[in-house]
Chain A
């Protein structure tokens, strides 16, 4: 669901999305016999191996009528495969000490595996990963149960101000585009989904041609090639290219949605469709946002809302770069009675930032933080794996990380100001306020 995704992406891509100037990360890249892209970093420091296999099977492949199908497919892949029951799969993974999880985002979906690199454990867990990806059974009983669990969670979410606000925000930003659909689906659409829908979604989307395999860890290139070959070989083949998605236009007018809720805090979200992974303004917007609300304690929003006035514990802004423009979002929670005051301050801060841009000092500070902090972004296998799968899925250049800090360094004050002026119009923001009385 987008609500959950947003938070994971916040910690992942949107904020930690960065690169290098520093020691080049030795990324090896090749293609398997059936067209799967492979990205590999050999890392011998610890006896472990991290793998992700991702497909063009994220929430964007949902349709309004079958909202939630992509997520249900990702979640049920491992619940029975090659005639092994879910119980057997779980037990064998646990016996090897392996950790297998579904990954699910707006654009992509798949599985990640963490295993020991020792021969016995590695081959046992890779065998299970291959079975789950290549021969999922989608048992009727597991599908029905996961549908029921998801429906129950959705009903719970519909009472909680955070998820209510997120869903309204995405729907208002994207309308009929699949980015506007809740990733976990809706109660009505989930209820209608059948096993054959899941199986068909799998056959169409979990195909070798769009798969990206990323590996980091304690194996050789030859071993990595064998692993990638094993994982890719039995995948379904693409019958036809997936359809192009509709374009995304910024809203013609600003819009404010007020949703009554009895919670003590109001949840406020402001935003507009932001930037894509291949956006020409990517670096200018990225740095600008760091100064506005992405840079933690030293950002303008935190300074104005929290440090100067004590109005909120958490206030932030981010761009979520996707294949198409993902959201630019500002968010905060504050006591109902002072929601309007906080909103006024957020709007004034945004307006001023767009009108005047950052100061030279702020720009220097942001560059120092992003550049100086680069080694922290690739200081573990898990973090490196995240970048490999990102580079692979979005077809970013192999030297993307090496170039990142250089590109950040080159951004000028005028470019930040110009990019925000062109891309972020404070008059055309979607604003969602969950809390209080809807008549206010």
Chain B
């Protein structure tokens, strides 16, 4: 639902480790290669991150970044449709891909000695993808099924989609990553082709490798497979900055459900300059004070004490290419209205604004920051994710140390100050789910005999 980019996630879960690790190298064609050596198991994860996500799309073709992600498995002259997955599977590997607002990424997890296979296949489809009418016609149906599954039939997902669309006017973050259904229905193979030609190039890609490898060898291997690929000019990227919001916005969503649901989005800054900025760090800590653990303010007050909510959570990701939103979502308890719950949330926000946070609370959040950076090192995949996300957002993995130091230096006054400055009505959008009763009764009709259903 709401992105939980919290403690331990995008911003706070940072790596330490040996000073020299990770290692970075840039190929002559502009492709960046980042290697983090981790010898805890004889395996490796390879991720290739294209700096092209849904925020680079244009009206009428929303969802094309994600559609292309699907089409990337549909073959090249050397590796026909379906073979990519089969080859990786036969090597004992796992592979998949994911698309977000900021990027599209592809990954393989393999025994270390199979890494060349992943590079060969990724290099091939970076340049030689074949997009046919026939494969596209089937795959766009799959994507529409995915949208039905993730969004159309999920009342809270519909609310989140509407929240985003209402909170932002100009920036493409207002569109869902999977795209609007009508755009999917009208998408053509040419749209996917144009997207591929525009953004898939070594100079728009970062290769991240984490595992039981030697960085020099990985750099060499990357040169062998990706080195021959040609760079090409990338289209200009327009800032598409949001104009200031001039008052509270409200949106209501009706869908079949039992419980109402409430989501708040405050417009906030994200991290641009890791040394100069201070507010994003304070916002991360604020999110931890409100929702970093079971006895954090919102859960303690609204779920445990007042029983206004059955669930409550916050979300804020400081690492982002586009505009920031500080999210709060909650489900009212039976017999409580969304209005009562909204007031309860506002009271807790007002309390931070009025009284600030205690040094004990601040220390508690920071203790979790420290622990999270140890825990995240148990997963190679996650370590690679963090590097890829930082790089996609225009930061560097080298900023990790600074970010960690800055988080640990956040003061109670800074937390109170960002709460006062940003958690206020003029920058607020509220989306509410108005649950509708089911139309059809769902009494089961039973038939015996395996084949009666035909």
Chain A residues packing against B (C-beta within 8 Å): 45-48, 86-87, 90-91, 93-99, 114-116, 121, 145, 148-149, 151-153, 155-156, 158-161, 164, 168, 253-265, 295-298, 303, 306-314, 333-335, 340, 343-344, 365, 368-376, 378-382, 426-429, 431, 433-434, 437-439
Give the complex CA separation of A363 and B187 in angstroms: 39
* Residues of chain B with a CB closer than 8 A to A152's CB: 258-259, 310, 331, 333-334
Further pairs besides A94-B293, A258-B447: 19, Cβ < 8 Å: A46-B374, A86-B304, A94-B296, A148-B307, A151-B334, A156-B257, A254-B449, A255-B449, A259-B444, A265-B149, A296-B85, A306-B142, A310-B141, A313-B149, A335-B148, A375-B41, A375-B111, A379-B43, A431-B453
Give the complex CA separation of A168 and B443 in angstroms: 11
B45 → chain A, closest Cβ, in Å?
Answer: 9
* Residues of chain B with a CB closer than 8 A to A253's CB: 448-450
Give the complex CA separation of A435 and B407 in angstroms: 49
The listed residue (A159, A160, A254) touching B448 by CB distance below 8 A is A254
Contact B257 A262 (CB under 8 A): no
Contact B259 A313 (CB under 8 A): no
* Residues of chain B with a CB closer than 8 A to A263's CB: 152-153, 256
* Residues of chain B with a CB closer than 8 A to A121's CB: 371
Residue of B nearest to A44 (CB): B40
B286 → chain A, closest Cβ, in Å?
Answer: 16
Tell me the chain B residues, 392-413 only, with Cβ under 8 Å from chain A. Answer: none
* Residues of chain B with a CB closer than 8 A to A335's CB: 144-145, 148
* Residues of chain B with a CB closer than 8 A to A314's CB: 149
The listed residue (B89, B257, B310) touching A295 by CB distance below 8 A is B89
Contact A168 B448 (CB under 8 A): no
Check A94/B295 contact, CB under 8 A, given A306-B142, A335-B148, A429-B450: yes
B246 interfacial by beta-carbon distance below 8 Å: no
19 contacts between A and B (CB under 8 A): A94-B293, A148-B307, A155-B259, A156-B258, A159-B438, A255-B446, A258-B444, A261-B440, A262-B256, A264-B152, A310-B141, A368-B92, A369-B89, A372-B90, A373-B94, A373-B111, A381-B378, A427-B450, A433-B453
The listed residue (A86, A161, A381) touching B153 by CB distance below 8 A is A161
Residue of A nearest to B452 (CB): A256
Chain B window 255-269, contacts with chain A (Cβ cutoff 8 Å), 1 for yes, 0 for no: 011110000000000
Give the complex CA separation of A343 and B42 in angstroms: 42
The interface stretch among B221-229, B337-345, B360-368 is: B360-368
Give the complex CA separation of A158 and B441 in angstroms: 11
B317 interfacial by beta-carbon distance below 8 Å: no
* Residues of chain A with a CB closer than 8 A to B149's CB: 265, 313-314, 333
Chain B window 83-120, contacts with chain A (Cβ cutoff 8 Å), 1 for yes, 0 for no: 00110011111100000000000000111001000000
B247 interfacial by beta-carbon distance below 8 Å: no
Contact B440 A93 (CB under 8 A): no
* Residues of chain A with a CB closer than 8 A to B444's CB: 168, 257-259, 438
B380 interfacial by beta-carbon distance below 8 Å: yes
Give the complex CA separation of A368 and B304 in angstroms: 51
Contact A375 B43 (CB under 8 A): yes
Give the complex CA separation of A72 and B257 in angstroms: 24
The listed residue (B137, B304, B367, B378) touching A145 by CB distance below 8 A is B304
* Residues of chain B with a CB closer than 8 A to A262's CB: 256, 438-440
Give the complex CA separation of A114 and B256 in angstroms: 39
B3 interfacial by beta-carbon distance below 8 Å: no
B80 interfacial by beta-carbon distance below 8 Å: no
Contact B367 A90 (CB under 8 A): no
Contact A156 B441 (CB under 8 A): no
B380 → chain A, closest Cβ, in Å?
Answer: 7
Contact A368 B85 (CB under 8 A): no
* Residues of chain A with a CB closer than 8 A to B364's CB: 91, 94-95
Give the complex CA separation of A292 and B226 in angstroms: 36
Contact B256 A159 (CB under 8 A): yes
Contact A97 B371 (CB under 8 A): yes
Residue of B nearest to A263 (CB): B153
Chain B window 173-189, contacts with chain A (Cβ cutoff 8 Å), 1 for yes, 0 for no: 00000000000000000
Residue of B nearest to A425 (CB): B450
Contact A264 B153 (CB under 8 A): yes
* Residues of chain B with a CB closer than 8 A to A365's CB: 86, 89-90
Give the complex CA separation of A343 and B450 in angstroms: 12
Contact B453 A376 (CB under 8 A): no
The listed residue (B378, B438, B451) touching A46 by CB distance below 8 A is B378
Check A298/B89 contact, CB under 8 A, given A381-B378, A437-B440: yes
A14 → chain B, closest Cβ, in Å?
Answer: 15
* Residues of chain B with a CB closer than 8 A to A256's CB: 446-450, 452-453
B10 → chain A, closest Cβ, in Å?
Answer: 18
Contact B85 A298 (CB under 8 A): yes
Residue of B nearest to A307 (CB): B82
Contact B450 A264 (CB under 8 A): no
Check A297/B85 contact, CB under 8 A, given A97-B371, A311-B145, A374-B92: yes
B372 interfacial by beta-carbon distance below 8 Å: yes
B146 interfacial by beta-carbon distance below 8 Å: yes
Contact B142 A310 (CB under 8 A): yes
B130 interfacial by beta-carbon distance below 8 Å: no
Contact B367 A95 (CB under 8 A): yes
* Residues of chain A with a CB closer than 8 A to B42's CB: 375
Check A313/B145 contact, CB under 8 A, given A298-B85, A373-B94, A379-B380: yes
Contact B292 A94 (CB under 8 A): yes
* Residues of chain B with a CB closer than 8 A to A376's CB: 43, 92-94, 109-111
B237 interfacial by beta-carbon distance below 8 Å: no
Residue of A nearest to B83 (CB): A298
Give the complex CA separation of A436 and B226 in angstroms: 50
B29 interfacial by beta-carbon distance below 8 Å: no
The listed residue (A90, A149, A312) touching B293 by CB distance below 8 A is A90
